């Protein structure tokens, strides 16, 4: 009886172990069980550690591994979560913002002054509890520019801070400490080139600084610029800043000046690309039809830039948009 009980116990345990192994093994669709992330603490704990997605059709067509950083998987739906966390924490650590205080920004935080934003995004901000004040689209040197209005608005409020994401280098630091290292680790250090558009320039500058430092300058980094922005011509002319003209359908990217986030790292860039609205729109439909990814125009501008960069650097490389495998 004892031997029979032991045999039954051993058989049951073996079957249980076999069942667990089968359940945890990659299934027929290639989906494995991830044990890396675990439980995170609250919403802010879910920021970052986004996957790199191989853009299969574009990779096959160019002969490069073209990878996109899936920043839409942040809890707020974009890469701005990283900068928002760092600039708010920076304000708290400096004693500029106390519990219950108000954050004022020129674009996307708690009290927002906006100039060029879709009605849907404004509605979403209000749904999340923001007070939104539409302001006119005027140049940075105009006192009515949204940045200057945001600062004046914050000065009028008690326990409020204007985080100034365009010139607050805590924005850039977010990408030196998180996005850049993630890209490097996810590609096992084999990324060959990186490209993205810029608004505040925190993403471009921070990732460029990290990848250039980590690779001892090997990784090539490029700005992708939409119509109406001056940065492509600034880089191509060797530092001549021209007056901003024209416009783009893309939101939140393009710039009429060199921000404080970009100034320390602009000389690290290997070049820039002008991406027309037509190319961005075409890529919106290509990503949807070919890759199964529903992305906005600004994201698809990055993809279009990564495709162009991959075509230029296709021999033996790895490319990444918001990274580029030859990996882009």
Determine what percent of the chain is predicted with pLDDT higher than 70.
Answer: 81
Cα 277 versus chain centre, distance: 20
User: What's the CATH number for 44-77+169-316?
Assistant: 3.40.50.1100
- pLDDT tens profile 264-273: 999 999 999 9
87-162 adopts what CATH topology?
Answer: Rossmann fold (3.40.50)
Q: For the chain, which ranges sit under pLDDT 50?
A: 107-112, 323-325
Distance CA 158, CA 148 (A): 18
Question: Half-sphere exposure of 275 toward its Cβ, with a 13 Å CA cutoff?
Answer: 32
pLDDT value at residue 111:
46
Is residue 193 within 8 A of residue 219, CB to CB? The reply is yes
Compute CA distances 11 → 2, 24, 271, whole Å.
14, 20, 65
User: So what's the pLDDT on residue 324?
Assistant: 43
DSSP 100: T
Q: What is the pLDDT of residue 112?
A: 47
| pLDDT confidence of residue 325 | 41
Closest CA to 208 of 259, 152, 261, 275: 261
Per the structure block, which two tokens stand in for 61? 């067509």
Cα–Cα distance for residue pair 312/324, rounded to 1 Å: 11
Dihedral through CA 21, CA 187, CA 44, CA 157, nearest 10? -170
Q: Could you tell me the pTM of the whole model?
A: 0.84
Relative to beta strand 52-54, strand 65-69 is antiparallel
Distance CA 105, CA 154 (A): 9
Per-residue model confidence as pLDDT tens digits over 139-172: 788 888 888 888 888 888 888 888 899 999 999 9
Please answer whether residues 68 and 303 qualify as being in contact, where contact means their C-beta atoms are separated by less than 8 angstroms.
yes
Query: Do 44-77+169-316 and 87-162 fold alike per CATH?
Result: yes
Domain coordinates of the chain in residue numbers? Answer: 44-77+169-316, 87-162
Cβ contact 55:27 at 8 Å: no
State the SS3 of the chain.
Answer: CHHHHHHHHHHHHHHHHHHHHHHHCCCCCCCCCCCCCCCCCCCHHHCCCCCEEECHHHHHHHCCEEEEECHHHCCCCCCHHHHHHHHHHHHHHCCCCCCCCEEEECCCCCEEEECCCCHHHHHHHHHCCCEEEECCCCCCCCCCCHHHHHHHHHHHCCCEEECCCCCCHHHHHHHHHHHHHHHHHHCCCCCCEEEECCCCCHHHHHHHHHHHHHCCCCCEEEEEECCCCCHHHHHHCCCCCCCCCCCCCCCCCCCCCCCCCCCCCHHHCCEEEECCHHHHHHHHHHHHHHHCCCCCHHHHHHHHHHHHHHHHCCCCCEEEECCCCCCC
């Amino acid at each position: 009886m004892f031997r029979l009980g032991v045999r039954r116990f051993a058989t049951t345990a073996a079957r249980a172990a076999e069942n667990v192994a089968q359940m945890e093994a990659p299934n027929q669709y290639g989906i494995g069980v991830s044990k890396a992330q675990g439980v995170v603490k609250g919403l802010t704990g879910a920021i970052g550690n986004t996957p790199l997605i191989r853009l299969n059709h574009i990779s096959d067509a160019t002969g490069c591994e073209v990878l996109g950083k899936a920043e839409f998987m942040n809890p707020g739906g974009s890469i701005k979560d990283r900068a928002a966390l760092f600039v708010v924490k920076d304000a708290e650590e400096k004693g500029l913002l106390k519990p219950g205080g108000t954050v004022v920004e020129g674009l996307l935080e708690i009290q927002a002054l906006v100039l060029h934003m879709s009605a849907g995004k404004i509605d979403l901000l209000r749904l999340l509890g923001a007070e939104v004040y539409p302001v006119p689209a005027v140049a940075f040197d105009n006192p009515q520019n949204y940045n200057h209005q945001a600062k004046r608005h914050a000065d009028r409020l008690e326990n409020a801070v204007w985080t100034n994401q365009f010139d607050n280098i805590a924005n850039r630091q977010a990408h030196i400490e998180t996005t850049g290292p993630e890209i490097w680790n996810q590609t096992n250090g084999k990324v060959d080139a990186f490209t993205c558009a810029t608004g505040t320039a925190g993403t471009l500058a921070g990732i460029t600084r990290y990848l250039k430092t980590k690779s001892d300058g090997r990784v090539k980094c490029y700005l992708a610029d939409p119509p109406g922005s001056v940065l492509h011509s600034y880089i191509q002319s060797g530092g001549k800043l021209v007056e901003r003209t024209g416009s783009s359908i893309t939101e939140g990217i393009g710039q009429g000046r060199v921000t404080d986030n970009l100034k320390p790292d602009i000389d690290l860039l290997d070049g820039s690309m002008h991406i027309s609205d037509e190319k961005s729109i075409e890529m919106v439909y290509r990503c949807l039809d070919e890759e199964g990814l529903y992305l906005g125009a600004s994201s698809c501008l990055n993809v279009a830039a990564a495709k162009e960069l991959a075509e230029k650097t296709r021999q033996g490389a790895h490319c990444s948009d918001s990274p580029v495998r030859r990996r882009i």
